[in-house]
Amino acid sequence: MKKNDYKFTTIYSLENLGAILSLVGFKNATIVALDISASPLEKARAHFGRTVFGFPVEYVQGDALALPFDNDSFDLVTTHLFMTHIADQRKNQVLAEAGRVLRRDREFIDEEIVVPPGTDLDKYKWFYATLADEFPGTPEQKAKVAQYMVELGAYSEFYPYGSEKSLVASMNSNGFEAHLGGLQEKRLYVNVCASLYQINARKV
């Protein structure tokens, strides 16, 4: 099993995106679903086929660090439960690529489940252990998956971008409009140890 070949599907994100586009009244959008690994795309294709909520979908295997798309070719770039899987030193490159392919005045939206600063690390590990428990395998293998997930998400203060200051600097250097306190950050829900975090930024 390759590193990225676990049970991620892109199904959840695609379904949400299709529903939202449909609710806000988009008529002619085409959705491009990108993942570096083949299996999530295959699962999504098997689930949805060629359309999601009536919107045509292209499934593209590719790297978010080097998107296989032209400059200024998208009206919306959205990442979902993804930035926390990208090492801190590579996040800037993801933002640069998002900025490159977006048209001017269009938005980048990122939504993550994150562990807020100050959270008890043991609760955080427990949270990932419950996720890892869904993977097939022996208890030892599940423990390894949980440890792997903790390492993936173990960034400074469990914030998806290291710090808000570094995120602002990174966004501004990649053509977005962002300033401290001006990022639209929404804590949509908070439970024992995780919250849903959303960030919107406009390309200028």
Ligand X SMILES: C[S@@+](CC[C@H](N)C(=O)[O-])C[C@H]1O[C@@H](n2cnc3c(N)ncnc32)[C@H](O)[C@@H]1O
**Do the beta carbons of residue 14 and residue 48 sit within 8 Å?**
yes
2 vs 104 by CB, closer to ligand X? 2
Q: How far apart are CA 202 and CA 103, in angstroms?
A: 10
Residue 36 within binding range of ligand X, rule CB under 6 A = yes
Q: How far apart are CA 32 and CA 34, in angstroms?
A: 6
46 vs 180 by CB, closer to ligand X? 46
Minimal distance, residue 46 CB to ligand X, in Å: 14
**Do the beta carbons of residue 45 and residue 38 sit within 8 Å?**
no
| Contact window for ligand X (CB under 6 A) among 29-37, 120-128, 164-172, 174-182 | 29-37
Q: Spell out, one character per residue from 2 to 21, where the chain touches ligand X: x when CB under 6 A holds, - when not.
A: --x---xxxxxx--------
| Residue of 196, 153, 9 whose CA lies nearest to 145 | 153
Q: How many residues of this chain interact with ligand X, rule: CB under 6 A?
A: 19
Q: How far apart are CA 85 and CA 74, in angstroms?
A: 23
| Contact window for ligand X (CB under 6 A) among 30-38, 123-131, 144-152, 180-188 | 30-38
Q: Give the DSSP H/E element, type plus range, for residue 112.
A: strand 102-114
Q: Spell out, one character per residue from 51 to 70, where the chain touches ligand X: x when CB under 6 A holds, - when not.
A: ------------xxx-----
**Do the beta carbons of residue 6 and residue 145 sit within 8 Å?**
yes
Cβ count within 10 A of residue 176 = 22
Minimal distance, residue 2 CB to ligand X, in Å: 9
- Phi, psi (deg, nearest 5) at residue 27: -110, -40
- Which residues between 75 and 104 bind ligand X (CB under 6 A)? 80-82, 85
| Contact window for ligand X (CB under 6 A) among 1-9, 47-55, 119-127, 176-184 | 1-9
Q: How far apart are CA 57 and CA 37, in angstroms?
A: 17
List, in sequence order, every residue forming a beta bridge with 33; answer none if it has no partner.
Answer: 59
5 vs 105 by CB, closer to ligand X? 5
Minimal distance, residue 102 CB to ligand X, in Å: 17
Residues that bind ligand X (CB under 6 A): 4, 8-13, 34-37, 40, 63-65, 80-82, 85
